[in-house]
C-alpha cells in the first residue's frame, strides 16, 4: 500500500461527505498518483464500515467492469466490486429522486440471490448456480462522487465501484430453468431504444463474475453469505439519464423493469 491509514481515512470521509451532499471531488489518482488498488479497497472498506456503524444494513455486492462493452466504455480492463446497502434498493416501477445522485447512468444486469454461502478456493460457475436461489433482472444506477474524466480503477473502487442504487423487477427465475448466457435485454429511455445486450457478454456467463468475486473474498478470508444479492455485471454500456426520464428494460421471458427519475 502506498497510502498511510490517516490518508485513507481522510479520503473515505471526503467520499462520505460527497455522498451526503451529492457532490463530486477531484480524482484521487490526480492527488495521490502512487495509490494502488489495495489502497482503493482500503478506502472503500473504511467508508463501508462507517456506514454500517451509522445504521445502514449491507444487503449484497456489485461486480463491475466484467463485460467487453463496459471495459471499452471506461478504458479499464480489471473487474471491481463494491457493497450495496438496504436503502439503495428500489422496486419495479419506482419513482427515484434524481437529486439523490451526483450523476445518473443506468446499466442492465442480472442479480443472483444466494440461498447458501459461497466461497473459494476454486469456485466455479456450477458452484454459483448450486448456491443461487433465483436470478432476477436488475438495473444498476451508477453514481460517481469522483470526477469522471481521467479516472482509473483506483478512483472507481475507492468510490464504492460507482454504485448508487439498484432496481429489481421482472420474473425471478431458478438458474436451472434458463440458460443464463442467452438472457437478453432491450434498454429504453423515454420510449426510445438506446442499448441492447446478451448476458453472455459478462465473461461468457453472468455467473462467472459471481465466482470471481467469491475467489476474491477467499483471498481475504471471507465469503459471500446466504441471502446476499449479487449484481453480476452489466452487459450493456451505461446509459445517461436526466431528470424526468423514464427507463424501461425488457428482458423478454424474464419480464420488464421500469423506473422514472424526478
Domain-wise residue ranges, the chain = 5-261
3-state secondary structure of 44: helix
Alpha helices in the chain (DSSP H): 5-21, 28-31, 37-53, 68-74, 125-131, 153-158, 206-219
- CATH top-level class of 5-261: alpha beta
Q: Which residues contact 164 (CB under 8 A, 6 or more apart)?
A: 88, 100, 101, 104, 140, 141, 142, 143
- Counted residue by residue, the chain has a size of 262
pTM of the model: 0.94
Cα distance between residue 102 and residue 1, in whole Å: 29
pLDDT attached to residue 218: 93
Cα distance between residue 124 and residue 177, in whole Å: 19
Cα distance between residue 77 and residue 64, in whole Å: 10
**To 10 degrees, what angle do helices 37-53 and 5-21 make?**
60
Grid cell, residue 58, equals: 449491507
pLDDT attached to residue 16: 95
Q: Which residues contact 235 (CB under 8 A, 6 or more apart)?
A: 67, 69, 108, 109, 185, 197, 198, 199, 200, 201, 202, 206
pLDDT attached to residue 71: 67
Q: Which residues contact 190 (CB under 8 A, 6 or more apart)?
A: 245, 246
Q: Which residues contact 67 (CB under 8 A, 6 or more apart)?
A: 197, 201, 202, 203, 233, 234, 235
User: What is the chain's pLDDT, residue by residue, as a tens digit (262 residues)?
Assistant: 899 999 999 999 999 999 999 999 999 999 999 999 999 999 999 999 999 999 999 999 999 988 766 666 666 676 899 999 999 999 999 999 999 998 899 999 999 999 999 998 999 999 999 999 999 999 999 999 999 998 888 999 999 999 999 999 999 999 999 999 999 999 999 999 999 999 999 999 999 999 999 999 998 899 999 999 999 999 998 999 999 999 999 999 999 999 999 9
pLDDT attached to residue 70: 62
Cα distance between residue 246 and residue 156, in whole Å: 26
Cα distance between residue 262 and residue 249, in whole Å: 18
Amino acid at each position: 500500500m502506498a497510502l498511510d491509514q490517516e490518508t485513507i481515512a481522510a479520503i473515505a470521509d471526503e467520499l462520505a461527505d460527497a455522498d451526503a451532499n451529492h457532490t463530486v471531488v477531484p480524482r484521487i489518482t490526480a492527488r495521490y498518483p502512487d495509490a494502488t488498488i489495495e489502497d482503493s479497497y482500503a478506502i472503500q472498506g473504511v467508508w463501508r464500515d462507517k456506514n454500517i456503524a451509522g445504521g445502514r444494513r449491507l444487503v449484497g455486492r456489485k461486480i463491475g467492469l466484467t463485460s467487453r462493452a463496459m471495459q471499452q466504455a471506461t478504458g479499464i480492463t480489471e473487474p471491481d466490486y463494491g457493497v450495496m446497502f438496504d436503502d439503495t434498493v428500489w422496486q419495479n416501477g419506482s419513482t427515484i429522486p434524481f437529486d439523490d445522485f451526483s450523476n445518473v447512468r443506468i446499466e442492465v444486469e442480472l442479480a443472483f440471490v444466494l440461498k447458501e454461502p459461497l466461497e473459494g478456493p476454486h469456485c466455479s460457475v456450477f458452484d454459483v448456480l448450486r448456491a443461487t436461489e433465483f436470478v432476477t433482472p436488475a438495473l444498476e444506477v451508477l453514481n460517481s462522487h469522483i470526477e469522471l474524466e481521467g479516472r482509473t480503477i483506483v478512483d472507481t473502487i475507492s468510490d464504492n465501484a460507482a454504485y448508487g442504487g439498484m432496481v429489481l423487477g421482472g420474473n425471478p427465475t431458478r438458474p436451472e430453468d434458463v440458460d443464463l448466457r442467452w438472457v437478453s435485454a432491450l434498454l429504453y429511455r423515454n420510449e426510445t431504444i438506446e442499448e441492447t445486450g446478451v448476458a453472455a457478454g459478462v465473461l461468457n456467463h453472468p455467473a462467472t463474475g459471481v465466482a470471481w468475486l467469491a475467489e476474491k473474498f477467499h483471498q481475504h478470508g471471507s465469503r459471500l453469505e446466504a441471502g446476499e444479492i449479487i449484481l453480476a455485471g452489466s452487459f450493456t454500456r451505461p446509459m445517461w439519464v436526466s431528470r424526468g426520464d423514464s427507463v424501461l428494460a425488457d428482458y423478454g421471458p424474464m419480464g420488464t423493469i421500469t423506473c422514472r427519475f424526478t
